[in-house]
Amino acid sequence: MQFLNYISHPDNLTQEKVNFFADYYNYAASQIEKIDSIDTENYLSLIEKIIFQIKTNTDNCNKYIDSYLTHPLLQKENKYFKQFKNYGEIVDLFEIYKNSGKPQAKIKWIKENPIFKLTLVKFRIELKKFMFRKSLKSIIMFLKCSHSLPYHKDDIIHHTNILVTEFLNTEWTKEDIIETFTKIITAQINEFPFSESFVKKNKSNLAKAKVEHFENMTFDKQFEGILNYLRSPYKNEYYIYRILNINAFKGFKFKYNKVTFYDKNNLKFKYLKLKIEESGFSKNFFKDENMILAVVKVHAKSKKMGEYTAINTIRKELAFLNFKYNANTLLEPFSYITTVNFKDFHSKWSTKENAVSISENSKKFFEKNPFLLLKVANKICAEHFLNYEYLFIKAQQSGNAEDYWHYFETLFKVCNESTGNMIDIITNIMWLSSNRIEKQLIEIYIINSFSNAIPEQFNLTRNEYYKIRNTGLNDVDEIIKSINHPLLNHLIKKRNKPTNKLYLKSFYSRLLWECYSQRNSMMHNNEQNERAMISIGIKLPELAMRCRETLLHSMINNSDLNFIELIDKLKD
């Protein structure tokens, strides 16, 4: 991936600010899964989650609403919050709700005051229409103004976080987001994200209109391409994947929920096969003797999200075939065909094999085997912890809120704590590694950014750059003392500061309450909030892993303690 941008502009100040914006944007998008201080929330996600609780969980919604209202974005004094039209009305209602008393009194107030939900819905309409546009417009204004970068740096970071989180919350992959600046700075006309209205207006002479648009491109129009990219239309396409280790009779067709399974010689693919033979691309797609084909219709904005959705949907439905026929089928995920009419097609063909090769470099991974590591720990403590190792693996594989909560709930049940206290315990365990992890990740990002850059980005000669590069890639301090770069300077300052304990513990707590909420919602109502599940999917896998690792190291270092005593120690 590209870590640092090198976007030129005739004005040096504008160039510096544009590159900081692009660099921070890529940093936030690429590191959001790992770095705790990069948020997944924005105003719209928080408001939608509160509305979801009121609509689907009225009798128990207060604890989740209370959790969301701790978010810094929704604080009365937040200057960015104040910029929205409905701020005054919504903030007054938040204050009345918070001051309405104990949990049951809050629920009673919500039921007796439908204006609360109606105002939230009205605010959601405003946010859907203006939040992203307002942040992008603010950034463009800051990039063009005469103020230095430090004057607006925090503003640019805030609004960039809004852009990145909204991309993530509207079904774009991390890889799609990182491509944003490649698309809007491109010299390739067909790569630039034109608006839907532009395409419709110029449908009869689109190629000519695109050339004219490029020739008259203004600074504002170029960066408004980010909004066009976000609003790219959804595409409906059929994704066709190969399912190996199974075959079927000629004419076989079986639909299970969203996926239809066919034999490989089915007449459904007659014209596709002819087109593929003519083109020469993916000509071996239908050749395997021992396979069937899975077809799923996907509604997605990008190929990467389409691929992700198709694979996960097929895997889910394929479980039925494996169960029914006691089979051990294999979804071949590296090659597929997309089509809208089963005649014309696009394809991805990979020579990558399904088989995994375990190399010498994997030795360190196997040394982390908890069943070996905990031989030196308290026997009873280790046995308790290892009993739930399989639940942890299941949660990491599925990414489901219910599986994560099942792991946490059963692991910590022995402590005999309430849900709130258990969340506080896990929150503290997660925080214990935050400072070390964030520092490590920032250092890795600095090293990778430097090693994938060019000398001109640091005002270094080639000799100076390669001298540092050849000696400093294992010593981040060697790089730090030799460079001057807006984003890296920002990251160096973050690296040298301890993490904000209050902010992070509040974040961990919100995420865990959200996990608990979505687990309950799935179990009792068979529904979940999409934005909540996106936050859980982005943040919880890494945090659950860290929580587990902290427990592992603590058990090894405190072999005299049983599990309850260990948790009591980690509370402090």
pLDDT tens by residue, 424-452 = 999 999 999 999 999 999 999 999 999 99
CA distance 70 to 63: 11
pLDDT higher than threshold 80 for residue 388: yes
What pLDDT score was predicted for residue 262? 97
Q: What value does the mean pLDDT take over residues 223-239? A: 95
Q: Residue 356 — pLDDT band, cuts 50, 70, 90?
A: low
pLDDT higher than threshold 60 for residue 295: yes
What pLDDT score was predicted for residue 476? 87
pLDDT higher than threshold 90 for residue 88: yes
Decide the pairing of beta strands 235-244 and 291-300.
Answer: antiparallel
What pTM does this model have? 0.92
Strand partners, 259: 256, 296
pLDDT higher than threshold 90 for residue 505: yes
Sequence-distant (≥ 6) Cβ neighbours of residue 198 within 8 angstroms: 209, 213
Query: What is the share, in percent, of the chain residues with pLDDT greater than 90?
Result: 85
Q: Residue 351 — pLDDT band, cuts 50, 70, 90?
A: low
Out of 29-33, 75-79, 188-192, 470-474, which region has the weakest mean confidence (pLDDT)?
A: 470-474
pLDDT higher than threshold 90 for residue 46: yes
Q: Which amino acid is at 208?
A: K
Q: Cβ(543)–Cβ(392) under 8 Å?
A: no
Q: What value does the mean pLDDT take over residues 541-557? A: 97
Q: State the first-to-last Cα distance of the chain, in angstroms, to the nearest integer.
A: 41
Q: What value does the mean pLDDT take over residues 169-188? A: 91
What pLDDT score was predicted for residue 278? 84
Q: Cβ(198)–Cβ(217) under 8 Å?
A: no
Q: Which amino acid is at 74?
A: L
Decide the pairing of beta strands 259-263 and 253-256.
Answer: antiparallel
**401-404 long-range Cβ contacts below 8 angstroms, 24+ apart:** 401/514, 401/515, 401/518, 401/519, 401/522, 401/528, 401/532, 401/533, 401/536, 401/540, 402/518, 402/519, 402/522, 402/523, 404/515, 404/519, 404/536, 404/540, 404/544
Average pLDDT value for the chain:
94
Backbone φ and ψ for 61, nearest 5 degrees, come out as -75, -15
Q: Which two tokens stand for residue 186?
A: 């491109």
Whole-angstrom Cα Rg for the chain: 26
What pLDDT score was predicted for residue 359? 77
Where is pLDDT greater, at 364 or 31? 31
pLDDT higher than threshold 70 for residue 111: yes
Rounded to the nearest angstrom, the gap between the alpha carbon of residue 12 and the centroid of all alpha carbons in its chain is 34
At 276-290, the pLDDT tens digits run 888 877 778 888 889
- Going 541 to 542 to 546 to 549, the CA torsion angle's sign is positive
Place of tokens 């819905």: 121
Going by C-alpha positions, the residue among 311, 324, 307 that lies closest to residue 246 is 324
Among 321-330, 481-490, 503-512, the range of highest mean pLDDT: 503-512
What pLDDT score was predicted for residue 354? 60
At 237-269, the pLDDT tens digits run 999 999 999 999 999 999 999 999 999 999 999
Per-residue three-class SS string for 167-229: HHHCCCCHHHHHCHHHHHCCCCHHHCCCCHHHHHHCHHHHHHHHHHHHHCCCHHHHHHHHHHH
What pLDDT score was predicted for residue 258? 96
